[in-house]
Amino acid sequence: MVNVTYDSASESMQVVEADGSTVVYNNGDIAWVLASTALVWIMIPGVGFFYSGLMRRKNALSMIYLSMMTVAVVSFQWFFWGFSLTFSETGSRFIGDLKYFGLKGVLEKPSIGSTRIPSLVFCVYQLMFAAITPMLAVGGFADRAHLGPILVFVFLWSTLVYDPIASWTWNTNGWSNRLPSYDFAGGTPVHISSGTAALAISIYLGKRRGYGTEALAYKPHNTTYVVLGTVLLWFGWFGFNGGSALSANLRAAQACMVTNLAASVGGLTWMFWDYRIERKWSAVGFCSGAIVGLVAITPGSGYVGSPAAVLFGFMAGTVCNFATQLKFVFNYDDSLDVFASHAIGGMVGNILTALFAQASVAHFDGFTVIPGGWLDHHYIQLAWHVADSAAGFGYSFAMTTLILWVMHFIPGLRLRVSEKVEAVGIDEIDMGEFAYDYVGVDPELNHNFNGGQAQMEMRAISAASGNSAKERTSDGMSIRELPM
C-alpha cells in the first residue's frame, strides 16, 4: 500500500518514503499540472482541425482522424516504454533505459522533472507532449499516404526519434540538459523534431499529383476549421508553456503572459506581410502567424521577459512567413508548411532564447538558478543552443528517413498511395467516411477523367479498397451511394 496522507490544514499531500522521510506535495501544484495536462490534450485535435481546414475537402476527415489515433497510439507507447526511455534516472546521456517499463514504480515518488509533484502526475503531463509531437509531423503525410501504416510510423517515430531527443533535453542525465541548454517547453524535442520529420516525409513521398500546376493552386477548403484549430491550440498552449513550470507559481504566470503576447504579435506580423501582396486581411495568415509565434516562444517561455516576447513574435512571423518559400527553392512538396512553421520556428525560438534568457526570470519560481543568456553576458549559451538545434535537426531527419525506407520494403507498410487513390481522396478510399454529408467533386477528377470513365475509376478503386461503390453526379455537386 502507498503510505499517503492529506493535511487539510495546509492543503498538502504527504508521502512517507521507505527510509522514513516525508515528502510533501502542494495540492495546488498538482491541480495546476493536471489542468495543464487537459489543456495540452485539447491541442492535439486542434492540430487535426487546423491541418484539415488547410487541406482539400476530399481529405478533410483524415487529419482529424489521425489526431485521435495519434493520442491512442502514443498513450500505449508511453505506457509501454516511452516514459521509461525518456525519463528514467538510470539512462545514458542520449536515452533512458527500461527502469519504468509498463509504468512500474511510477506513482507517488518525486518526479525527475520536479520534486514538487509526484512521478505519476509528471508522467501523464509529459504524455501529452509525446502525443502532440508526432501529430505535428503527420502533417507531412497530407493528401498522399495510407492511414494504417501511419499509425505504425507514429509508434516507431515516438520510440526512435521523440524519446531520445526529449531525453537528452529534459532528463537530468541528458547531454543537452547538462550543458545546460534552455528549453522550457519543447523547442527542439517538439518543434524542431516534428518539423524536420515532416520535411523528411515530404521528400520521401514525393510531390502530389499536379504539383506546380493549377490543380494544386487551391485555397484552404474550410477557413473555419483553421480558426477553430488555432483557437484550440492557442488555448491549450497556456498549459503547454505555463504548465511546464510544473508548479502554480510566478514563473508559470510569466510563461502564460509571454505565450499570449508572442502569439498575438506573430499573428499580426504574418498577416501584415501577406497584406502587402494580396491586399487582403487574411484569417489564415493571422492564424499561421499566431501558431509560429507560439512555436518560437515555447523554448524561452520560462526564461524571457515580456519585451522579448514581442521580438519572438515578430521574428517568428517574419522568418517563418518567408521560409514557406523554401519548398519552391529546394523543390519539395511540404503541403502544410510544417517544416517552415515548426522546424524553422523552433530554431528561431532556440536562438532568441539564448540571447534573451534572464536568470531573474528563471528565478521567478524561487528555486531555479541559471547563468542566463546574452542579456546576462553569458555568451557561450548561443553556441550550446545552436548545437542543440543542429543535433535535433540532423537526428530527426536521418532517423525519420530511415524509418520511412524500412517501412517502404515491408509488405503492407508502404505509405505512398497510388495516383488514382490520391485523385479520389484518402477519406473515400481508406475510411469510406467523409467530413461532410455532401462533398463536391474535386476539380482534379473532372480534369483527369471524363464522364463515365471517372465513374468506372471510382467503382474500381472503391471495390479494391473494400468500400461500397460511390458515384459522383455529372454536375459535380454531390455524392451518392450506388448498388454494386
For residues 139 and 70, is the Cβ–Cβ distance under 8 A? no
Residues 360 and 477 in one domain: no
> How far is the C-alpha of 347 from the C-alpha of 192, rounded, in Å?
7
Angle 358-341-184 (CA atoms, 0-180°, nearest 5)?
Answer: 30
Residues 104 and 240 in one domain: yes
Q: Which of 389, 408, 427 is the last residue of a domain?
A: 408
Residues 456 and 387 in one domain: no
Torsion of the alpha carbons at 304, 165, 263 and 53, rounded to the nearest 10? 180
Cell of 377: 553576458
Tell me, yes or no, whether 223 lies in a domain.
yes
Residues 471 and 390 in one domain: no
Tell me, yes or no, whether 125 lies in a domain.
yes
Q: Is the dihedral of CA 123, 124, 125, 127 positive or negative?
A: positive
Residues 328 and 467 in one domain: no
Residues 344 and 475 in one domain: no
Tell me, yes or no, whether 187 lies in a domain.
yes
Total number of domains constituting the chain: 2
Residues 370 and 445 in one domain: no
Q: Is residue 78 helix, strand or coil? A: helix
Q: How many Cβ atoms from other residues are within 10 Å of residue 372's Cβ?
A: 20
Residues 461 and 379 in one domain: no
> How far is the C-alpha of 393 from the C-alpha of 139, rounded, in Å?
17
Which CATH number do you get for residue 150? 1.10.3430.10
Tell me, yes or no, whether 4 lies in a domain.
no
Q: Parallel, antiparallel, or unpaired for β 479-481 and 470-472?
A: antiparallel
Residues 58 and 204 in one domain: yes
> How far is the C-alpha of 175 from the C-alpha of 26, rounded, in Å?
31
Q: Parallel, antiparallel, or unpaired for β 470-472 and 4-7?
A: unpaired
DSSP string, 219-263: PPS-HHHHHHHHHHHHHHHHHHHHGGGSSSSHHHHHHHHHHHHHH
Residues 397 and 444 in one domain: no
pLDDT tens across the length of the chain (484 residues): 677 888 877 778 888 887 878 898 989 999 999 999 999 999 999 999 999 999 999 999 999 999 999 999 999 999 999 999 999 999 999 999 999 999 999 999 999 999 999 999 999 999 999 999 999 999 999 999 999 999 999 999 999 999 999 999 999 999 999 999 999 999 999 999 999 999 999 999 999 988 878 777 778 999 999 999 999 999 999 999 999 999 999 999 999 999 999 999 999 999 999 999 889 999 999 999 999 999 999 999 999 999 999 999 999 999 999 999 999 999 999 999 999 999 999 999 999 999 999 999 999 999 999 999 999 999 999 999 999 999 999 999 999 999 999 999 999 999 999 999 999 999 999 998 988 875 555 555 555 444 444 454 455 455 545 544 344 433 333 333 333 3
> How far is the C-alpha of 439 from the C-alpha of 169, rounded, in Å?
45
Tell me, yes or no, whether 121 lies in a domain.
yes
Tell me, yes or no, whether 14 lies in a domain.
no
Q: Which of 357, 390, 408 is the last residue of a domain?
A: 408
Residues 392 and 471 in one domain: no
Residues 68 and 116 in one domain: yes
Q: How many Cβ atoms from other residues are within 10 Å of residue 50's Cβ?
A: 27
Q: How many Cβ atoms from other residues are within 10 Å of residue 380's Cβ?
A: 12
Residue ranges making up the domain that contains 221:
32-408
Tell me, yes or no, whether 23 lies in a domain.
no
> How far is the C-alpha of 271 from the C-alpha of 282, rounded, in Å?
6
Q: Is residue 404 helix, strand or coil? A: helix
Q: Which of 368, 393, 408 is the last residue of a domain?
A: 408
Cell of 146: 495510407
Tell me, yes or no, whether 414 lies in a domain.
no
Crossing angle of the two packed helices 193-205 and 344-356, in degrees rounded to 10: 160
Q: Is residue 6 helix, strand or coil? A: strand
